[in-house]
Amino acid sequence: MSFLENAKQYTGADLDTIFFRPFLTGPSAQELGVRVLYNMPVPTTVQLWDGRLNILQKHTGKGWTGGAAATKYQKTISLNRVKAELGFSASDYFSLVYEKIATGPDVNMDDLTGTQLEQAETELFRQAVAESIRATMWVGDIEATKGYNTFDGFLKTVNDCMVAESFYTLPYQQASLNAPDGVIEIFDALWKNADTRLQDGKAEGQLAFFVTSDLYFLYEKYLDTKGTDAAYIDSMNGRQTLAYHGIPVVDVRLGNYLPETSFHQSFCLLTDRRNLVLAVNTADFPGNEVRMWYNPDEMENRQRALFMAGCDVLDETLLAYAYRE
């Protein structure tokens, strides 16, 4: 046996529970660092309520003094139909799938079941789809002629909103990053000039600095300069997570994608995680599926996924953005 021929198709509940839900809910969704709306009713709409700040009234014993009703705002996340496809040489595909199986501690290579093969094939494709969604939610540009152009990403929204000057922006030069403490100046400037509503949200633990890898590395170098035993140990063992004054610093890991776009190649975005929304729907449209099959004419294993996806920024005033010119 040197190739895999059994076709697999996931639709309906199987498409949800077997393929998409494992990486769009729970800890896997939290690793994306943003708010994920999975299989919400279409159109996917987020309800935002703006109640009066001062609602305490003197009690007079009777009557209604509540004033006008709370104002409701709605943000509709536009979903686009997207398709993911991969093709592998039959021999290469066989090797990739069997490598995943062989790494398991309790696998008998002389007695492989169809379930083990299916899980390995599914995981191989799921990882590719998950990474493509993650990249597109940042660098997506539907107007681009190539690359990640299935739906607009967060950076496209940020760039469009910069024209209206609806949030604080800070341009910087590469020379500002020649010393490790340059990144601290960026963090401080964003925090000091951010909207007061964003600052007040720090206590809820949802704020984050989303940074490109160059700033993330520079902040690590800044921490290395601290003359403490902890800094020495961290420089030896590395750091699983970083934070500045209690606000997580998140590496967006876009080094392979930004050079193919017109977006800023180095940036830092301070916002509430819940303000960045990714929506994926696999249930409300006919034809959504994941299919894996063998094409004997081309001696090729093929994979295809059809679903709906989109993302948006709920409130652009709750952003503070620094970028390298």
Query: Taking phi first (over 0 means left), then psi (-120 to 50 degrees means alpha), and beta for anything else, what does residue 127 get?
Result: alpha
Can you tell me which residue has the tokens 């340059």? 182
pLDDT value for 306: 95
Burial of 47 (0-12, 13-18, 19+ CB in 10 A): exposed
Tens-binned pLDDT, residue by residue, of the chain (325 aa) = 466 777 889 998 889 888 999 889 888 888 888 999 999 888 888 876 665 567 777 777 777 766 666 666 678 899 999 999 988 888 887 787 777 766 665 555 544 455 677 788 888 889 999 999 999 999 999 999 888 999 999 999 999 999 888 899 999 999 999 999 999 999 999 999 999 999 999 999 999 999 999 999 999 999 888 766 666 576 666 677 899 999 999 999 999 999 999 999 999 999 999 999 999 999 888 889 999 998 988 888 899 999 999 999 999 999 999 999 9
C-beta separation of 29 from 36 below 8 A: yes
> In this structure, how many other beta carbons lie within 10 angstroms of the beta carbon of residue 248?
16
The DSSP letter of residue 173 is -
pLDDT value for 71: 60
Please name every residue paired with 268 in a beta bridge, in sequence order, or none if there are none.
Answer: 211, 322
In 78-231, where do the E strands start and end? 80-89, 168-172, 207-211
Q: Closest Cα partner for 299 from 92, 86, 85, 121?
A: 92
What would the DSSP string read from start to end of 47-61? EEEE--S-------S
C-beta separation of 124 from 98 below 8 A: no
Distance CA 132, CA 251 (A): 17
Distance CA 157, CA 103 (A): 42
